[in-house]
């Protein structure tokens, strides 16, 4: 089906047809398992700090010493060890601009590779240092956020779409996979799918990560609504139908768990954006598993199996013990 026909379907409220088709194609491709993805967050600091939807943009003026906004490396590593135990994938290592330097990120990624057995995706902004990375990295993520060049310039003034594209092309030349992130609800329209599809083709993207807007207090979006579940599903289904082989990850917040089943049927291979330790074992964690169950897929990993949390001691480095214990205690507490 041509892109314009798909856009018309969304605009004519025939999204259910797209979802049904995307579901059939996904199953035909063998996508019968859904992954739980966890972004490992490096720091609260971002030197750009001017993307108008971003929580970090509300923090920049409050942070006096950017070094103190960095997370402790052992906490990041302990989190990766727990992800491994629970069967979660590391979505990527994510950090704002000018927080950790390249050598530090490489060292963290190398240790995570050792802990999880899987090389790591990066989402660390536009960088010229990709050639410093090696086998510890599987791919590079470009934070496109909004696939509409005019809106992009207004919403993310310091990271141009063409610079992101250039970095992704270089990543491809170096043998890394390529991903992009897209946030829905920033003012885009179904017509912007044409640009998004073109961008994916031009930069040979292997993985698309969708999020829905989380309206942060203190940003211009604080009173905006999150996008409708049907609209979100229609966009995802379009990408699945256009690119049967691409990996699609969809983020949804705890207040929108009912999106999950619909997004999986629309073609998502994985889901993300959950507060792992807070939700683990609670009715919210159980709800995620229910959502997957009713799509007829299996879930890789667990949101509820306490036995998988394991020992308070790290299997890799005793310096992680204190954080492993902290995260296990947090997971066992019922926070809701």
Binding site for ligand SF4 (CB under 6 A): 46, 48-51, 54, 56-57, 96-97, 125, 143, 156, 159
* Shorter beta-carbon distance to ligand SF4: residue 5 or 65: 65
- What residues have CB less than 8 Å from 205, skipping those under 6 apart? 168, 178, 179, 180, 199, 246
* Shorter beta-carbon distance to ligand SF4: residue 151 or 322: 151
To ligand SF4, the closest distance from the beta carbon of 68 in angstroms equals 17
Q: How far apart are CA 23 and CA 225, in angstroms?
A: 27
Q: Which residues pair with 207 in a beta bridge?
A: 179, 247
Which two structure tokens, joined as six digits, stand for 31? Answer: 């996508």
Q: Which of 84, 85, 36 is nearest to 269 (CA)?
A: 36
* Shorter beta-carbon distance to ligand SF4: residue 7 or 39: 39
To ligand SF4, the closest distance from the beta carbon of 189 in angstroms equals 21
User: Residue 180 is inside which H or E element, if any?
Assistant: strand 177-184
To ligand SF4, the closest distance from the beta carbon of 96 in angstroms equals 4
* Shorter beta-carbon distance to ligand SF4: residue 57 or 229: 57
User: Residue 328 is inside which H or E element, if any?
Assistant: helix 321-332
To ligand SF4, the closest distance from the beta carbon of 222 in angstroms equals 15
Q: 279 — phi, psi (to 5°)?
A: -90, -20
* Shorter beta-carbon distance to ligand SF4: residue 92 or 113: 92
* Shorter beta-carbon distance to ligand SF4: residue 97 or 316: 97
Which two structure tokens, joined as six digits, stand for 190? Answer: 């179904």
- What residues have CB less than 8 Å from 233, skipping those under 6 apart? 15, 18, 19, 259, 262, 263, 265, 266
To ligand SF4, the closest distance from the beta carbon of 209 in angstroms equals 13
Which two structure tokens, joined as six digits, stand for 281? Answer: 């074992």
Q: Which of 303, 181, 302 is nearest to 254 (CA)?
A: 303
To ligand SF4, the closest distance from the beta carbon of 5 in angstroms equals 33
């Amino acid at each position: 089906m041509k892109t314009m026909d798909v856009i018309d379907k969304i605009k004519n409220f025939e999204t259910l047809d797209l979802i049904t088709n995307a579901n059939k194609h996904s199953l035909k491709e063998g996508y019968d398992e859904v992954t739980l993805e966890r972004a490992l967050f490096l720091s609260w600091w971002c030197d750009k700090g001017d993307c108008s939807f971003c929580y970090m943009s509300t923090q920049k003026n409050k942070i006096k010493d950017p070094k103190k906004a960095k997370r402790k490396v052992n906490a990041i590593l302990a989190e990766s060890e727990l992800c491994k135990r629970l069967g979660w994938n590391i979505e990527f290592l994510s950090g704002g601009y000018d927080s950790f330097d390249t050598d530090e990120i490489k060292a963290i990624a190398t240790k995570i590779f050792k802990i999880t057995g899987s090389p790591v995706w990066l989402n660390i902004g536009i960088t010229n240092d990709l050639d410093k990375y090696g086998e510890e990295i599987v791919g590079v993520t470009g934070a496109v956020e909004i696939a509409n060049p005019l809106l992009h310039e207004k919403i993310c003034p310091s990271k141009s779409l063409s610079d992101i594209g250039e970095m992704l092309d270089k990543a491809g030349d170096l043998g890394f996979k390529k991903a992009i992130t897209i946030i829905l609800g920033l003012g885009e329209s179904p017509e912007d799918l044409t640009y998004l599809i073109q961008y994916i083709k031009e930069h040979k993207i292997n993985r698309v990560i969708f999020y829905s807007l989380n309206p942060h207090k203190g940003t211009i979006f604080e009173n905006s609504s999150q996008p409708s579940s049907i609209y979100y599903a229609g966009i995802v289904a379009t990408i699945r139908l256009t690119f049967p082989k691409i990996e699609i990850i969809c983020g949804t917040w705890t207040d929108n768990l009912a999106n999950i089943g619909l997004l999986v049927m629309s073609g998502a291979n994985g889901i993300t954006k959950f507060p792992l330790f807070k939700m683990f074992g609670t009715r919210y964690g159980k709800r995620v598993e229910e959502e997957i169950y009713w799509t007829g897929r299996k879930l890789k990993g667990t949101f509820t199996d306490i036995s998988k949390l394991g020992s308070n001691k790290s299997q890799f480095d005793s310096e992680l013990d204190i954080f492993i214990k902290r995260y296990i205690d947090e997971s066992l507490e019922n926070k809701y």
